[in-house]
Amino acid sequence: MRLHTAILFLLISTSIKLVGQTDTVKYQWPISPLGVQKQVTGTFAEYRSTSASGHYHNGTDIPASAGTPVYAVLPGVVAVAYDDGSTGYDSYVRVTSTINGVSKNLTYYHTRPSVSVGQQVVIGQQISTIAIDHVHLIDYNLGTSLTDRQINALRQNGGLTPYVDTWKPRIRYIKFLLDNSTTFVPMGGLGSKIDIIVHIEEANGTSSSAQNNGAYQVGYKILNVLGDSVVFNPPDNGSRYIYNNKPKDQYVNINFYQPESNTSQHVYSITNGGGANYVASTQVVANNFWDVTQHPYGNYKLMVWTTDCRGNADTQYVNITTTDIDLIPPGQANLRYVKMDSTGYFTIGWRKPADPDLKGYRLFYSSNGTGYSLREDENILKKDVLERTYSYGSQNPLYLKVSSVDSATMPNLGIQSDVYGIRMKNDGNRILIVDGFNRYGGTGSWANPYHEFILRYADAFSYSFDSAHNSEVENGGINLSTYNAVIWFLGDESTEHETISDAEKVKIADYLDNGGKLFISGSEIAYDLEGSGSAASGDITFLRNYLRAKYVMDNSNSKVVAGADGTVFSGLSNIVYGLTGYGSPYVEDYPDAIDTVNGSQIMLKYSTLTNAGIAYTGAFGNPNKTGQVVYFAFPFETVGYATDRTNLMSAVFNYFGISTDVENHVLTPEVGYSLEQNYPNPFNPSTVISYSLPQKQHVTIKVYDIMGKEITKLVDEEKGPGKFLVEFNAADLASGVYFYQLTTNDFSSVRKLILMK
């Protein structure tokens, strides 16, 4: 009786008021009869595995057969009426309404339009037909962005009506893992920091497809072993997620446990996030955990609950035991350098993590950066061994990484280090690759605490090279003057971590003053040194005098670069970077635009005709020495195609007067006529169009609006043969459907593209 009373109290007390939930607009169902509730086969913010990285479902699925009429449920103006010309899966209509003077958007996805853009529609007017088997209804919050503020059409105080839900959600299983890992631990031996994962099925009907949907609210509390008092109550009274609005897609695999989640199975990491209110207001789901060390070790009861948007609930209790067994992996061991000592020998060094139970390290190696083998373990590389020298007789590159290991009975392995490498050839050249990219997670584009970007630089040339962390240059452990050329990459490192420190400025300046050759790339260098509000006079002086550049803008609005005529980069064109669909390891979102200063020369231009790369040859601080610098205002490692990276790197070395054994040319395999679908699509504000020509000829590519009016001419020149790319920036255009047409003397093709702002 006492436990039953506690259950009732705990369930009632889980109701919280979510911040920012002010959209109470209601509307009927988009399939006849409009005033009758329909079944739901896909719920808002559930997991979708239809993309490699996973994403949130951003609407509500309402099933019906192909050809079923779809009706407007709010009056308004048709903003988009797009037919994909194929299965209709990507076809949709979006209607913009005005509610009390504020815009309101609804998208009827997977439906073929029967209205046109600009048309006024009223409630109950047919606007489309279902393309395959359901309409995917997307609701956007009043007056907010179309791209990241979708809201739940089954929310408690708005959306689809009538909606009566008599089906309760079900908790299928509960499991425990070490924080931020895939290591399961038994419920009878929980230690350290724990992730709790829960498989939940939300029922919205009687069919199988209506009973495997995602949850509306999820929460947990830790009770005493009797279950009659709360030992640990997470923020918002234990409520972790309430899906009235959708978190950002980049957090989907923190919100969900990816190895066990898919389109029909939704497994939540309920210990992650800062509580339902924080997630709702920020759209951020940060890593979190239950720290069992904050409570006396012993027996407890875990309470997990889920509720749907109409109050139906399921609650499960699990008896658990906490223990002081060490389950926490040691901190990350970070590589400092891999450098050649003498012919046939190299030395690798790393930093020691601070864990008191550290036992040693495991060193892994690879000749190609894909399959790694164990070279030595913690029995040889003990905790105070921070450097090791090895012989290596091959002229092929060697890539290495290290992981820390603790002394627990069952050893815990720390997060791997970055991958560094070396190539040892008797070629008279020695190149240093400096890793200055220390930004990950948060607002950065790269999510992991380690990376392998040195491979994308080293594989673009064939000379001997060493590699080092930027701090080794900063503290004097690496002497730049011993290298023929230095490659320094900063990724999207920005003001938060400081692109180039004062100490590094001194080292780089000294290197260039004495005739050094520096190739540096990064998307935020000029912004940090000159464009940000915190830029100091010394930063601007360094940018102008040593990188020989000045800041123009924080976003070039282009993902395509080409070589400038009359330079070593001439002939390089249609080089795409920063798009994962084109092979980039991460999305580059804010590439700087720069300009020349103090005698520098333009080397690369964005498709927007702003400058992407500059170079300078001449004296720096020493009039008797000639130094050289090449500066890319975008991250070189985000260039997707290996041939493009090789061609760019060859041009850099040619500029430095270091001949390469890789011929500097653009590959043009035999191709026929083609006009490819733009990527990404939908897009905002820029997209890339790919096309092919079998022979040299005059070609035009024009963009038209839905009424057939020419908007712009992207290409109007002789091209070919080969495959080409052109970027279309629509920053000044309104959302909607547009067309692009390629025309030559004997070929023409038209495709649709969608601008969604």
More confident residue, 126 or 731: 126
pLDDT surpassing 60 at residue 13: no
Question: Using one digit for the tens of pLDDT, what is the confidence trace for 682-702?
Answer: 888 888 888 888 888 899 999
What is the C-alpha to C-alpha distance for residues 536 and 546, in angstroms, rounded to an integer?
15
What is the C-alpha to C-alpha distance for residues 449 and 451, in angstroms, rounded to an integer?
7
Question: Using one digit for the tens of pLDDT, what is the confidence trace for 439-471?
Answer: 987 778 898 899 999 999 999 999 999 999 999
Question: Using one digit for the tens of pLDDT, what is the confidence trace for 248-264?
Answer: 988 999 999 999 999 99
Residue 38 covered by a domain: yes
Residue 21 covered by a domain: no
Same domain for 77 and 198:
no
More confident residue, 723 or 193: 193
- Picking from 675, 663, 648, the residue whose alpha carbon sits closest to that of residue 748 is 675
162-176, 398-412, 515-529: the lowest-pLDDT one: 398-412
Out of 404, 420, 436, pick the residue that ends a domain: 420
Question: Which residues, 6 or more positions from 564, have their beta carbon under 8 angstroms from its beta carbon?
Answer: 570, 601, 602, 603, 604, 605
Helix or strand run (H / E) with residue 456? helix 454-458
Residue 669 covered by a domain: no
- Picking from 279, 198, 299, the residue whose alpha carbon sits closest to that of residue 235 is 279
Query: What pLDDT, on the 0 to 100 scale, is given for residue 11?
Result: 42
Average pLDDT over the chain reads: 90
What is the C-alpha to C-alpha distance for residues 164 and 309, in angstroms, rounded to an integer?
10
Same domain for 50 and 179:
no
Same domain for 589 and 484:
yes
CA neighbours closer than 13 Å in the CB half-sphere of residue 538: 8
CA neighbours closer than 13 Å in the CB half-sphere of residue 25: 21
Same domain for 247 and 289:
yes
pLDDT band at 669 (very low <50, low <70, confident <90, very high): very low
Same domain for 648 and 706:
no
Question: Using one digit for the tens of pLDDT, what is the confidence trace for 717-731?
Answer: 988 787 788 888 888
Same domain for 179 and 211:
yes
What is the C-alpha to C-alpha distance for residues 736 and 37, in angstroms, rounded to an integer?
31
Same domain for 518 and 648:
yes
What is the C-alpha to C-alpha distance for residues 45 and 53, in angstroms, rounded to an integer?
15
What is the C-alpha to C-alpha distance for residues 315 and 319, in angstroms, rounded to an integer?
14
Out of 264, 292, 321, pick the residue that ends a domain: 321
4-8, 149-153, 316-320, 388-392: the lowest-pLDDT one: 4-8
* Residue 585: cis peptide before it, omega within 30 degrees of 0: no
Same domain for 604 and 462:
yes
pLDDT surpassing 80 at residue 7: no
pLDDT band at 670 (very low <50, low <70, confident <90, very high): low
Query: What pLDDT, on the 0 to 100 scale, is given for residue 410?
Result: 75
Same domain for 190 and 137:
no
Domain count, the chain: 5
Helices and strands (H and E) in the chain: how many: 9, 48
- Picking from 376, 394, 448, the residue whose alpha carbon sits closest to that of residue 419 is 448
DSSP string for 230-261: EEE--TGGGEEEETTBPPPGGGHHHHB-GGG-
| Mean pLDDT in residue range 567-595 | 92
- Give the position of tokens 């420190």: 501
pLDDT band at 144 (very low <50, low <70, confident <90, very high): low
Q: Token pair for residue 169?
A: 């959600």
The CATH number linked to 629 is 3.40.50.880
Domain assignment of residue 310, given as a range? 2-15+167-321
Instruction: Enter the pTM of the model.
Output: 0.62
Number of residues that this document lists for the chain = 757
